[in-house]
Structure 1
């Protein structure tokens, strides 16, 4: 019996050893293959693809980007570029670096033209497009041409294309120009059917962020405000394109009757309609366009196309990081959440405080606001920076409203883009309770506590004392909001309260109301910080988030099952939140799903929902 047992034991031991050996062998082979693949891509996509420009040839600078970031991208990081290539991830490009590359290309004798390849262009922020458009117009002043090419153009793609000398459209393509609209989902009836009690405490008559959960439709006052907003934004869009293309309004955006007639005259062909109305300059396939560029700029034997250099490669060859910088740049983007995100911004501000080489700060804000506690947290850190005579210049992006504007008031000087949406001064608290919903399902919540009148559970009715506390807290947050504006903008409390009703304004109107100092862009901020710090040669230090956002780039690569697994949601919850914020905001779901986090349940946020 002992011999039999030893034989069985030996068999399983050897089997286990063999399986372990095979497992390690497979893992090692996979690892070696991965190293080989990465090594191949590092060689093939870096050392083997460096384009040395021939001084006797003209090249096209090709701009083919999907999205843009506020942060500076290190295009010389071989490993990250190789990983991007392996996983087929979209290139990350910096708005500032592209603008500087266009500026350099203007004087670069090797660069003969720019091609805007806009098929994958997904930038929605018009203020960013305007900034790059300014540099494209400057490039054209050198006599060099800009070509825009696309299979079809959505509104923002066409807006960007309008800065080109020539717009080329595929013969089967079209332009989608439909104007702007504001639409929301409203949940009052749904919440009523589910017996969800929404407790709301609000200051600001035009504070419309909570309407979707307390109404079944848009209020008449909000309709007036939003209609005025989209009219102003759309008029600016039309004026810019008309100026760029040198065409009439009737050609660009005719009334329905005229459009139908012109469409009939074009035999129902949208591409031909665009050509006939001078919206584009030529209908051409990509192959024909490629042949035209080869005739003008020569043949690249290596890449089997016209002589060109990609924007990322051009940046990596021409722009090197400096060791010492004197002005910091910090970006505040998206919804303000209290916790890791707000603490990360504060940490960046503290870096500026502690660095003796940094003499001032440019604060870029593109935020609808969010948690009032997060806004105060960031604001207080900025005020501390000013106490050591490091000036702050705020430059606003597409949106710097509510809590985003709260932060902006800490600046010594505030610059708004002409299309920036700002204001929305006001606060509110939203506390849903689900006790009646649970009763429908036969679930009851019970227990003991020190003070029944201060129960903070969502599964019990909100006690009267808690309601009174929230009401006082909201009033206190509103008064603080009014005070920081009065203090930062040098206004009386009474004058600020006239503006602190939730109303929104675009750049010029915000300036008239004294909410901002001037209308401009990032270049205006550089000029102003130079004046305030008395530094002639400004060198920018772009402070980046400590949160590693590389896994975020893999979100589109990961299958649905992984992204929705418990492991992914627990370990990478901040990434999931980051990627969902804008989509939730546009569907009025942030407050409902508690994606905005404030420990006091008090918010200063504006819903941007323009399509």
Structure 2
């Protein structure tokens, strides 16, 4: 008995010792992790100081802007594996990219340690002209301060060349060329394709120039649409050439000769596009990377540690000097971006509404800047966002809208809630009109021997792709489209203080450039984000503003696709949107079948 008790005692003592050991081990591991994190934090601070002391304090160095990198506020950690993995599986859009770039350029203009800028344009990831113009404005200011700008790339497309034109000297690699081809607007037409598939398409629209539906109704572009789009792209291209002409001090014909003159000049260059670019003064020097580096060493001196020219990467520069100015919290002016097609519901409009509501409830925020780059979307989304903005105005928090590349149709609807609307001269806006497209595959089902039959109380609100559109559904659709259109023009008339007769003349689905929209009273002024800041200062009467940036989390397109039950329709519309907008986007079937859709698909 005593032996048994001793054995039990031994077992319990052993277990207790094991528990104590395990507890001590866990506590020690946690302690070591905390110490490690603390040391890592101290290391980062010291590393930042080292960058500041060893790099930024050097004289005659150059700010290098490499456009294949991310210009975010967390660039200091961009090489961390954990951060990379986290960003891989989250879909969070950073809307401060352009602001970070221009702030860095502006700060460098006054920085005695920065003598120039190098634009490395090999992988430029900015595509819309208003943002390129905004960066160009700051590059011009930098250049006018007496500091030099150098641009280099393996080849220049139109966006790359636009930014390069602001440089004092443009370098081109020996195998590169400048690719200027103008602007085109082309789209695929599906009428015959749908007919061959025996898919019936029902189109409901108001607005003569609401041409997005033409792809389902016609085999080719209508003459009216061709006239409108020709005028639009010619105006856009003229604006582009005007800027290049001023920057390069060349005529528009020299920059972009006719096809006949282009071939004559190309033959003189023996068909060599690189030589053509140099002989026609599109670039200043043909140089490989080694020769370019040697010239930059002559200009800015040799960094003996790195064995290259003295330079600082823009990401380090942003982290050290610009990050403090980007308020993520505790600002007094909110900045909310609205980007892409507007979708109604929790994965679309609700996200934006919740952010606007935070501005409404925060007593420290005195005003709102809306950065809009959207072709429109679901009319329900437009109404919901608009109503939330009106609530903001009722408590005397001013709203300024700054339009970027596009703010058309439903995006213009929500813009009308603003106290002041600013657009770039080539922003695409207007497109006041409404349409809806319903596809029906009942003939396909009938062809393969499938028929849907049964009884119901009513055909109202029973819209389905696999059943023929009933007369009452068609009438409901027509009435809803007309009512929505009348509501749209009444809203524009009220908010823009325009006679309804004047609005009716321009409310035909026509897309306007910003400079034309101003003439019609659809916007208040031409400008950019800087002008929006000046206007919100004036409206709020705040002497020192602090911008609080609110980044909207974007919803994964894959999730929309997986939720879609309607393969044929979603794919047809998906392909169209991809061709037009060059973006991945999927439509949720339930939302697409809403009666009223407000899209603007007039895109260059």
What is the TM-score of this pair, normalised by structure 2?
0.84
- The CA deviation string for residues 334-383 of structure 1, in whole angstroms up to 9 with x for no partner, is 11111211110111100110010110011111110011111111111101
Q: Which residue of 1 aligns with 2:413?
A: 406
Shift of residue 495, structure 1, vs aligned partner: 1.9
Which among 56, 61, 64 is matched to residue 62 of structure 1? 64
CA contact (8 A) 1:586 1:608 kept: no
SS at match of 1:477: helix
Whether contact under 8 Å (1:337, 1:598) holds in the other structure is no
1:336 to 336, 342, 351: 342
Quote the offset at 1:514 in angstroms. Answer: 0.5
Match of 2:284 among 266, 281, 288: 281
Which of 491, 513, 519 is the matching residue for 1:484? 491
Q: Is the 8 A contact 1:66 1:123 kept in 2?
A: no
Q: CA deviation at 1:132?
A: 0.4
Counterpart secondary structure, 2:205: strand
Alignment partner of 1:406: what SS?
helix
- Seen in structure 2, the aligned counterparts of structure 1 residues 501 and 590 have a Cα distance that, compared at 3 Å, is farther
Q: 1:118 to 1:182 in 2, by over 3 A?
A: same
Aligned pair 1:431/2:450, yes or no? Answer: no
Residue in structure 1 matching 2:237, options 234, 239, 243:
234
Q: In 2, are the aligned partners of 1:185 and 1:587 still within 8 Å (CA)? A: no
1:68–1:95: 8 Å Cα contact kept in structure 2?
Answer: no
State the SS of the aligned residue for 2:348: helix
The answer (yes or no) to whether the contact 1:67–1:121 under 8 Å persists in 2 is no
Could you list the per-position Cα deviations for residues 410-467 of structure 1 after superposition, in whole angstroms to 9, with x for gaps in the alignment? Answer: 0011111111011110001211111111112222223333224653221100111111
Asked if the contact 2:207–2:507 (Cα under 8 Å) also holds between the matched residues in 1, the reply is: yes
Cα distance change, pair 277–214 in 1 and its aligned pair in 2 (3 A)? same
Indicate the SS of the match to 2:349: helix
RMSD: 3.2
Structure 2 equivalent of residue 17 of structure 1: none
Task: Give the superposition deviation at 1:259.
Answer: 1.3
Report if the CA contact (8 A) 2:367-2:399 is conserved.
yes
Q: Distance in 1 between matches of 2:79 and 2:70?
A: 17
For the structure 1 residues 204 and 601, does the alpha-carbon distance in structure 2 shift closer, same or farther, using more than 3 Å as the test?
same
Cα deviation, residue 75, structure 1: 2.4
Once the two structures are TM-superposed, the CA of residue 257 in structure 1 deviates from its matched residue by 1.9
CA–CA distance in structure 2, aligned partners of residues 469 and 530 of structure 1: 46
2: CA distance between counterparts of 1:251 and 1:135? 26
Alignment correspondent of 1:161:
164
Please name the residue that 2:380 is paired with: 373
Are the equivalent residues in 2 in contact too, given 1:373–1:598 (CA < 8 A)? no
CA distance in structure 2 between the aligned counterparts of 1:440 and 1:528, rounded to whole angstroms: 62
Residues 239-250 of structure 1 aligned to structure 2 (within 5 Å):
239-250=242-253
SS of 1:152's partner is: coil
Q: 1:151 to 1:586 in 2, by over 3 A?
A: same
1:131-142 alignment runs, 5 A limit = 131-142=134-145
Per-residue CA deviation, residues 253-311 of structure 1 (Å, 9 max, x unaligned), is 11122211211111211111111111001000011101111222223344332211111
Q: Does 1:327 align with 2:333?
A: yes
Q: Is the 8 A contact 2:337 2:552 kept in 1?
A: no
The DSSP-based 3-state class of the residue aligned with 2:493 is helix
1:457 paired residue among 464, 471, 477:
464
Q: Is the 8 A contact 1:426 1:501 kept in 2?
A: yes
2:406 is paired with a residue of what secondary structure? strand
2:119 aligns with 116
Q: C-alpha distance in 2, partners of 1:524/1:404?
A: 20
Please give the alpha-carbon distance, in whole angstroms, between the structure 1 residues aligned to 2:166 and 2:585.
41
Q: Is the 8 A contact 2:578 2:585 kept in 1?
A: no
Deviation at 1:203, TM superposition (A): 0.6
CA pair 590-161 structure 1, distance change in 2 beyond 3 A: closer
* Alignment-derived partner of residue 579 in structure 2: 586
| Residue aligned with 1:537, SS | coil
Cα contact 1:508–1:519 (8 A) shared by 2: yes
The alignment status of 1:602 with 2:596, answered yes or no, reads yes
Q: Where in structure 1 are there 5+ consecutive unaligned residues? A: 1-35, 556-562, 572-576
The DSSP-based 3-state class of the residue aligned with 1:515 is coil
Q: Do the aligned residues in 1 keep the contact of 2:78 with 2:84 (CA within 8 Å)?
A: no
Matched residue SS, 1:337: coil
In the other structure, the counterpart of 2:33 is none
Once residues 82 and 148 of structure 1 are traced to their aligned partners in structure 2, the CA distance between those partners, rounded to angstroms, is 32
> What whole-Å deviation, never above 9, does each CA across 1:174-208 have from its counterpart, x for those lacking one?
01101111101000001111111111111101110
Q: Which of 186, 190, 212 lines up with 2:189 in the alignment? A: 186
Match of 1:75 in 2: 74
Q: Unpaired segments of 5 or more residues in structure 2?
A: 1-35, 565-569
8 A Cα contact 1:332 1:367, kept in partner:
yes
Using the TM superposition, name which of 217-226 and 580-589 deviates more. Answer: 580-589
**Residues of 1 paired with 2:85 and 2:304: CA distance?**
25
1:260 maps to 2:263: yes
Work out which of the residue numbers 106, 110, 114 in structure 2 matches 1:107. 110
TM-score norm. by structure 1 comes to: 0.83
Whether the 8 Å CA contact 1:185–1:588 is kept in 2: the answer is no
| Distance verdict in 2 for CA 1:589–1:64, change over 3 Å | closer
Tell me how far 1:56 sits from its aligned partner.
4.6
Asked whether the 8 Å contact 1:290–1:306 carries over to 2, the reply is yes
Alpha-carbon displacement from aligned partner over 1:550-582 (angstroms, at most 9, x marks no partner)? xx7xx9xxxxxxx8xx999569xxxxx9xx979
Match of 1:360 in 2: 367
- Whole-angstrom distance in 2 between the partners of 1:134 and 1:453: 56
CA contact (8 A) 1:65 1:121 kept: yes
